[in-house]
Amino acid sequence: MSTRNRSGDTLAPPPAPQRDEAALALRGWHQPRLPRGAGWYAAALAVVVASALQAGLGLPLLPSLLTGWAVLGIGLPSLSRAVEGRRKAVDRLVSIMVSSAFVLAMVPLVSILWTVVKNGLPVLSSEFFTYSMRNVVGEGGGIYHAVWGTVLITAAAAVMSVPLGLLTAIFLVEYGGDGRLAKVVRFLVDVMTGIPSIVAGLFAYALFVVFFGPGVRMGIAGAVALTVLMTPVVVRSSEEMLQLVPHELREAAYALGVPRWRTIVKVVLPTSMAGLVTGVTLAVARVIGETAPLLITVGITDSSNFTLFDGRMATLPVFTYSSIMSPGVPPEPSIARAWGAALVLMLIVMVLNLVARLVTYFFSPKGKR
Amino acid sequence: MSMRSVLRDSVPTPVPTPAVTAAGGGSRRPAIGIDVEDLDIYYGDVQAVRGVTLAIPAQSVTAVIGPSGCGKSTFLRSLNRMHEVAPGARVDGTVRVDGRDLYAAGVDPVLVRREIGMVFQRPNPFPTMSIRDNVLAGVRLNGGRLKKDAAEAVVERSLRGANLWDEVKDRLNRPGAGLSGGQQQRLCIARAIAVEPQVLLMDEPCSALDPISTSAIEDLIGQLKSEYTIVIVTHNMQQAARVSDETAFFNLAGVGEPGQLVESGATTKIFSNPDNPSTEAYITGRFG
């Protein structure tokens, strides 16, 4: 290309242009690109800059990180603008923004996980899982009573709210339609979804005071409070799952002369079983960590109590709260137990989520296999 | 069928069944015809079909043709009260099945549908059930208990009836949703005939299928008509001409007007020498 415009040799015919085969094949389509992985290199460079600022120049962490991020966010798009053109530069800029937002959102999550695991893991021992806090002062003791309390109260809440929520959802999808009653129920469920957990706790407490007098504490009251919180979640998720069942399947059953209730029990529910179970599991995971309502209705105790209908019970969230807030002397073992209980609670929720996934996998309708 | 007495109670004067045309020899039991008289169908305030009077003969194939939106499917669904599944749907006029009024007070649509089966446009096997359970769905879902060998007999008879037995006999426990589209549709036909209906309604049963599957289903319809009264809605004129004995042509009375029956009669006549010019125009492809 560069040989053509030499001044002087006007008489000589221009030499036959040395056409590059590759360039010919890409006429009008060719656009230089930054090397593959340029984004990763730039990110690595930004990290290097940030750590150099912090370690080398002694800047605080936040300014160093921001400077590194600015190097990445301004440097890479500018370079890209010069080499690749405007469209690619915008692409890289937006990619950086999106990835940054993702990393930012992950920071608290990872931080929580790390803190809980770091502080909770050393406490876990066979004694921690098999002993209650009865007659324990200082070191030792465990969360046996709190694990059982959480399991029993949450199970009782599930036993109450799952039939209630599922039947409500069946009414809304299969019978209510767009009728007035269905609209009212939907609205009330929406309102219930927004009830603060402390209000649910107060409601359950007030309800039990009516029957048992002031100062009542029992596990079932906590289960009622959790039911108030859990039912709307179950209704909402079940309603969505039931609506996903194709109308053709219901028609197919009707056309075989199957009554409506049998169609629901034998066709609609089995078809949506995976989604229903997942929804229930997630609702359980949602309420298992509730502290405020249980604090009011169930309280806390040091001993094991397996009776939902008689007196205080320990639960993992309330145990964590009270271990931190009133640790006793010396405080360290109690605080360590609080971290351990938090870790166990987190593990239970994680296991529940895993179970939900397994259920989805095994229960979902089988197509080509 | 024991439920027949339930229906019969509501009918004071039995109307004689229409003449049987093209009755196949050796049928197990006489199928029944349908008499439709001045039928109006509404969805809420909207009238979808107006003034249909049609005699559907027993043990024959009646094709319902017409442009989209003219109420063919609505009419078909009113023949086993499936249109009531849609909210606000109602009907004026009479439909007599074997002389019994379908819309008389006290008639249970669930019992009607056990006698008048239906096959839909899109194959809809139950996804949670195996091939065997799909065939038995009608019996099982209705609370019927079958001994194992009786159930096997129903499965084999229904699948053979739907020309599907040889293709699936080795994998009856596999999910029904794993079959091809044409096989799924034949599975749905097997499911429909497993409850031994008298009438089989088919709502564009081949429109989602390829030509080979379509041909398989058409052959099947030809075999089934010796035992069942078949009403088939189709957009495919060649199909109507191939499979049906009688043809009914529906059309819109005008833009925004309800659909109505324009003409009905023997398929050979409708396709060769129709009385109404709009029938001829539709059949020859000049509109619709």
Please tell me the predicted confidence (pLDDT) of residue A134. Answer: 87
Angle at B218 between CA B83 and CA B279, to 5 degrees: 65
The contacts of residue A3 (CB under 8 Å, 6+ apart) are A15
- Is residue A27 in some structural domain? no
Please report how the helices A86-120 and A332-363 are oriented relative to each other, as an axis angle in degrees rounded to 10.
120
Q: Are B234 and B63 in contact (CB under 8 A)?
A: yes
Long-range CB pairs of A169-174, under 8 A, 24+ apart, other chains included: A169/A234, A169/A235, A169/A238, A169/A239, A169/A241, A169/A242, A170/A238, A170/A242, A170/A264, A172/A235, A172/A239, A173/A239, A173/A242, A173/A243, A174/A242, A174/A260, A174/A264, A174/A268
Q: Name the residue of chain A whose CA is nearest to B3's CA.
A: A257
B15, pLDDT greater than 70:
no
Confidence of residue A16 (pLDDT cuts 50, 70, 90): low
Alpha carbon distance B156, A199 (integer Å): 61
Enter the DSSP assignment of B180: -
Closest CA to B202 of B164, B236, B231: B231
- Is residue A20 in some structural domain? no
Please tell me the predicted confidence (pLDDT) of residue A13. Answer: 56
A127, pLDDT greater than 70:
yes
Q: Is B208 exposed, middle or buried (0-12, 13-18, 19+ CB in 10 A)?
A: middle
Task: Enumerate domains of chain B plus CATH numbers.
Answer: 4-283 (3.40.50.300)
- Is residue A235 in some structural domain? yes
* Residue range(s) defining the domain that contains residue A78: 34-121
Alpha carbon distance A51, A73 (integer Å): 17
* Number of folded domains that form chain A: 2
Q: How many CB atoms lie within 10 A of CB A143?
A: 29
Whether residues A258 and A112 fall in one domain: no
Whole-number percent of chain B with pLDDT over 70: 89
- Is residue A61 in some structural domain? yes
Which uninterrupted H or E stretch holds B113? helix B109-115
Whether residues A170 and A71 fall in one domain: no
Buried residues in A37-72 as b, exposed as e (16+ CB within 10 A):
ebbeebbeebeebbeebbeeeebeeeebbebbbebb
Please tell me the predicted confidence (pLDDT) of residue B254. Answer: 81
- Rounded to two decimals, what is the model's pTM? 0.78
Closest CA to A306 of A220, A208, A237, A187: A220
Whether residues A52 and A196 fall in one domain: no
Q: Last residue of some domain: A102, A121, A140?
A: A121
Start-to-end Cα distance in chain B? 42
Is A180 in the B-facing interface, judged by CB distances under 8 Å?
A: no
Which position has the higher pLDDT, B288 or B161? Answer: B161
Please tell me the predicted confidence (pLDDT) of residue B146. Answer: 80
A219, pLDDT greater than 90:
yes
Whether residues A117 and A145 fall in one domain: no
Whether residues A141 and A114 fall in one domain: no
Is A246 in the B-facing interface, judged by CB distances under 8 Å?
A: yes
Whether residues A78 and A212 fall in one domain: no
Specify the CATH number for the domain of residue A228: 1.10.3720.10
Most confident of A21-25, A84-88, B51-55, B214-218: B51-55
Please tell me the predicted confidence (pLDDT) of residue A368. Answer: 40
Q: Name the residue of chain B whose CA is nearest to A260's CA.
A: B110
Confidence of residue A22 (pLDDT cuts 50, 70, 90): low
* Tokens standing for residue A227: 């039911």
Alpha carbon distance A255, B77 (integer Å): 10
Please report how the helices B131-141 and B181-194 are oriented relative to each other, as an axis angle in degrees rounded to 10.
30
Whether residues A291 and A163 fall in one domain: yes
Please tell me the predicted confidence (pLDDT) of residue A249. Answer: 92
Which position has the higher pLDDT, A27 or A142? Answer: A142
Query: Chains A, B: CB contacts under 8 A, how many?
Result: 92
Query: How high is the ipTM of this complex?
Result: 0.80
Whole-number percent of chain A with pLDDT over 70: 91
Closest CA to A62 of A104, A28, A26, A31: A104
Please tell me the predicted confidence (pLDDT) of residue B135. Answer: 93
- Is residue A12 in some structural domain? no
User: What are the pLDDT digits (tens) for A40-80?
Assistant: 998 999 999 888 888 888 888 888 888 889 889 898 999 99
Q: Name the residue of chain B whose CA is nearest to A266's CA.
A: B141
Range scoring the smallest mean pLDDT among A58-67, A298-307, A338-347: A58-67
A2, pLDDT greater than 90:
no
- Is residue A25 in some structural domain? no
Q: Last residue of some domain: A79, A96, A121?
A: A121
Which position has the higher pLDDT, A101 or A368? Answer: A101
Q: How many CB atoms lie within 10 A of CB A171?
A: 15
Start-to-end Cα distance in chain A? 60
Is A249 in the B-facing interface, judged by CB distances under 8 Å?
A: yes
How do strand B259-266 and strand B246-252 relate by DSSP bridges?
antiparallel
- Is residue A300 in some structural domain? yes
Whether residues A143 and A56 fall in one domain: no
Which uninterrupted H or E stretch holds A286? helix A273-287
- CA–CA min distance B120, chain A (Å): 8
Q: Is B40 exposed, middle or buried (0-12, 13-18, 19+ CB in 10 A)?
A: middle
Q: Name the residue of chain A whose CA is nearest to B193's CA.
A: A256
Whether residues A212 and A113 fall in one domain: no
Q: Which residues of A fall within a CB distance of 8 Å from B111?
A: 257
Q: How far is CA B85 from CA A248, A259, B80, B232, in A?
A: 11, 12, 11, 20
- Is residue A320 in some structural domain? yes
Please tell me the predicted confidence (pLDDT) of residue A5. Answer: 46
Whether residues A243 and A291 fall in one domain: yes
Which of B111, B126, B175 comes nearest A249 by C-beta?
B126
Alpha carbon distance B28, B157 (integer Å): 13
Q: Last residue of some domain: A67, A96, A121?
A: A121
